[in-house]
Amino acid sequence: MPELPEVETVRAGLETHLAGRVVTSTEVLHPRAIRRHIGGEPDLVGRLAGKQVTGVRRRGKYLWIDLADSADRAALVVHLGMSGQMLIARTGTPDHTHLRVRAVLDDENELRFVDQRTFGGWHLDDYTPDVFAQEDDSATQDVPVSVAHIATDPFDPAFDPVRVVDRMRAKQSEIKRVLLDQTVISGVGNIYADEALWRARLHGARIAETISRKKLRELIDAVTDVMADALKVGGTSFDALYVNVNGQSGYFERSLNAYGRAGEPCRRCGAIMRREQFMNRGSFSCPRCQRPPKANPG
């Protein structure tokens, strides 16, 4: 699943093209693409017709489109899954391979949802108050019900690093597992977790509650910095499955310091980087800069 920098790149592109536009019609070409919408295809198609887009928002890896309608206020929540793409195309241009949903707009363009593996999809959702927002944040808005359990990310105005450190310190889990917990801090996936841990000189197997508050704050700052750096170049692309709304790939993979670099020298100390198994995937670290925790003899 794309992580925050990739989703934010898509969000920004969508807002440029969609803000103020009206959906004139919608066509579902694969039923799995709307399987999360309770009302099924007729309900989704009917409710989208005539809706005006007022904005495109994101929390962590989760993306939604705000739709204006006093009688039926709803958000179009988009799950990109492993291979979902939100593309803008001129009406009449050839369909993309693996096109799943087409929404025709009032400016002779179309919003196309392309998804090779069909893990992603669209659904309409109601709004609910944001439980993660700070009480004194006047800019806080409601969020879709299906996103309400997702914690704020470092680029959210309501993000409070002190509260995030508190949530981390309450966990008796490995710190990498905590970074991937979207109810603690959102937007971080396997790639940026490894990159942030490398920058903070922390091994992912360290137990969160045993790490000092100062070090956890350094880790949060590293998460923020690495994702900000990735945003500048449009995110990370290892294949053709992640692209922005114009079909272009991101280039941050050229700047990765940890992820995917097993067998190569650490760019900080020269030690050979290692790959370890973690949650059915790889975890990359430097054995010298990121000392693993000592094994418990018991």
Helices (DSSP H) in 190-278: which residue ranges? 190-200, 213-232
Neighbours of 94 (CB within 10 A): 7
Residue 152: half-sphere exposure toward Cβ, Cα within 13 Å: 23
Among this protein's residues, is 287 annotated catalytic?
A: no
Q: Which residue in 90, 214, 254, 281 is the catalytic one?
A: 281
Region of residue 50 (phi > 0: left; psi between -120 and 50: alpha; otherwise: beta): left
Indicate the length of the chain as a whole number: 298
Residue 157 annotated in active site: no
Q: Which of 253, 242, 221 is nearest to 10 (CA)?
A: 242
Q: How far is CA 144 from the centre of its chain?
A: 15
Dist. CA 66–CA 111, nearest whole Å: 14
Pick the catalytic residue from 47, 61, 112, 201: 61
Does the annotation count 2 as an active-site position? Answer: yes
Calpha distance 175→216 (Å, rounded): 9
**Residue among 3, 6, 8, 110 flagged as catalytic:** 3
281 is catalytic: yes
Q: Name 195's Cβ contacts closer than 8 Å, sequence gap at least 6.
A: 222, 226, 256, 257, 258, 259
Beta strands in the chain (DSSP E): 23-28, 52-59, 62-68, 74-79, 84-90, 99-105, 109-115, 121-125, 127-128, 143-144, 274-278, 281-285
Nearest to residue 90, comparing CAs of 102, 77, 101? 102
- Catalytically annotated residue among 2, 5, 144, 154: 2
Q: Which residues are catalytic?
A: 2-3, 61, 281
